[in-house]
Amino acid sequence: MLGELRRSKKYSSLSEDTLRRVCARACARYPKRKDALKAAKNELHIIYGMFFPEDCHKKAAALLPVLAENPDDRVTHRAVLALHASTNERLPHIEDFYTFIFTHMPRPRSLCDIGCGFNPFSLPWMTLPPDVRYDAFDLSAPTAELFNSYFTLKGLEPRAHVCDIMQGVPEGEWDAAFLFKLLPLLEQQEKGFTHRLLSVLNARYIIITYPIKSLGGREKGMTAHYSAFMEGVLPRGLMVAAREIIGNELVYVLKNV
C-alpha cells in the first residue's frame, strides 16, 4: 500500500514520514487492504489534497520570473496566493490580517511558518526586516522547492523544509511562529497534539488561526467551538495577547511570558 502512495501522482511528493504514518493508521483500522488504501487516501486528501489543486505548484513556478523582475509585485503575489485554497480564502482580508497581527507584536527577525502552504507568498504584506530568517515547513517537497526559489529571488536564505510536524517539532528558536488553520488538522489526527506542540515550540510569539467556516462556506458553530478549545488548551506560560475574527478566520496572537 505504501508503494502505491509513493507512485501516485497526487501524493508521491509528500514527506516519507507522512506516507508511512498515514498508512500505519489506516492499516491498524482496516484489515482489508482495499479499505485501508481508501482510508489513507481520504486522510491525505484532508490534510493536503483539498488545499493544493492540481498543477498549483507548476502554475506558481511559472510566475516566479515575473516576481524576479519585481519582487514586491502584489498583483502577481495575489495571483499565486489564489492558487492555494487556504490563502485564496484569506486574500480579501490580507491587509487587515497582517495589520492586526503586527499591531500586537513587533516585526520578527526570525520566523517559523509550520504547515506553510503558500503563505510565504504573503511576504509583501508582512513588511518584515529585509534580513529576516524565514523557516517554512510543509509536507510537500514541491512546496519546499518552490519557496527556496522564491526566497532566493527575494534575497533571503532558502530555508524551506519538508517536514511532518507530527513526527517531530522543528528545533530552533524564533521571534514568531505561524500556525495558520493547521491545528484542527493535527488535533484530528492525534488528540492532545495541540497542547504538546504549544508546550515545546520555541517562539516568543505564536500566531494561530482557526477556520470559522468550512471551505464550502458553512459556519456550523466553529467560532464558539474553537474559542473554547483554544483557551482551554493553552499550556502554562502562554497568554492571549490579542484575539480577533478577520474574514473567515479566528486569529490568536499568543505571547510567551
* Every domain of the chain and the residues it spans: 2-49, 56-256
Instruction: Answer whether 2-49 and 56-256 agree in fold.
Output: no
Domain 56-256 has CATH 3.30.450.40: no
Q: Full-prediction pTM beyond 0.85?
A: yes
Domain 2-49 has CATH 1.10.8: yes
Sole residue written with cell 489526527: 189
Query: 207 CB contacts (<8 Å, ≥6 apart)?
Result: 101, 105, 176, 177, 178, 179, 180, 251, 252, 253, 254
Contact 22, 40 (CB under 8 A): yes
Q: Is residue 144 pLDDT above 60, yes or no?
A: yes
Average pLDDT over residues 47-69: 92
Least confident of 16-30, 119-133, 164-178: 16-30
Q: Is residue 215 pLDDT above 70, yes or no?
A: no
Average pLDDT over residues 195-215: 90
Q: Is residue 219 pLDDT above 70, yes or no?
A: no
Q: How many residues does the chain have?
A: 257
Distance CA 32, CA 234 (A): 39
Contact 204, 175 (CB under 8 A): yes
Please, what is the end-to-end C-alpha distance for the chain in angstroms? 46
The per-residue pLDDT for range 154-186, each reduced to its tens digit, is: 999 999 999 999 888 899 999 999 999 999 999
